[in-house]
Amino acid sequence: MLEKIKETGTYIQTKTNFKPEVGIILGTGLGGLVKEIEIEHSLGYESIPNFPVSTVEGHSGKLIFGKLGGKNVVAMQGRFHYYEGYSMREVTFPVRVMKFLGVHTLLVSNASGGMNPDFSIGDLMILNDHINLFPDNPLIGRNYKELGPRFPDMSKTYDKELINKAVEIAGKKGIKVQQGVYAGLTGPCFETPAEYKYIRIIGADAVGMSTVPEVIVARHGEMRCFAMSIITDLGVEGKIVEVTHQDVIEVAAKAEVKMTQIMKELVSSL
């Protein structure tokens, strides 16, 4: 794995000498942030050695290098999901490469189902913790101490200072934000009512099919992490309706404008 990370990182450095400090993973609904980046270089995933190619509808695959809020960023337009059949190591490989390139802070976005009864469709939720419900962990297998410790601490997974900054930015802009715990699981089915209830009981406010693997790897590499969800549907008893991928994309598209403003300002405040 070390060789692969180095090979991919070195390849990218032959294509651009841009030095990113902040990594951004653009999930469903945060594609619009790309329009705010002054793009210096962009690489299709298919052209990058060792990179998986994304398959899911609504996610194009590009690694974008440029300036956002005056900072050097690298953004993944489209991520890899476990439900597409990639291993946890494949899903998180780009985060390893970001670290190799010098990224110290990772910002992640996603779409999720809300189970907290105070949430509404279209709300933004800042993650203050997560629960890994994947039947797997990207750190299983041989540990390379060059990448991080065998048993990484997860007590401060989502950076408090970044959370506080984001809350302050949202307050100034009059944008409502929720905070809560995100449960990550495989998908690709959405949850049954009994599953939403179970995930709520164990302590989560929202549920989705991403973010947890990438954040685990980022913390392994001691990156500061910040993540935000768009609540695209509700898993609240009595409010559960049929949900499609199209619904998720439509709600995300509406809420993304607010999320983009917060993310952009957060990057510039770093």
Residues at the site binding ligand HPA, with contacts judged by CB under 6 A: 111-113, 187, 190-191, 207-209, 232-233, 235, 248
| Least spacing, CB of residue 44 vs ligand HPA, in Å | 25
Q: Is 241 exposed, middle or buried (0-12, 13-18, 19+ CB in 10 A)?
A: exposed
| Least spacing, CB of residue 199 vs ligand HPA, in Å | 9
Other C-beta atoms lying within 10 Å of the C-beta of residue 163: 19
Nearer residue to ligand HPA within complex by CB, 39 or 133: 133
- By beta-carbon distance, which residue lies closest to ligand HPA? 113
Q: Is the dihedral of CA 31, 35, 39, 43 positive or negative?
A: positive
Nearer residue to ligand HPA within complex by CB, 40 or 195: 195
Q: Which residues contact 155 (CB under 8 A, 6 or more apart)?
A: none
| Least spacing, CB of residue 209 vs ligand HPA, in Å | 5
Nearer residue to ligand HPA within complex by CB, 43 or 181: 181
| Least spacing, CB of residue 205 vs ligand HPA, in Å | 12
- What's the full length of the chain, in residues? 270
Nearer residue to ligand HPA within complex by CB, 39 or 249: 249
Helix (H, G, I), strand (E, B) or coil at 189: coil
- Which residues are bridge partners to 179 per DSSP? 126
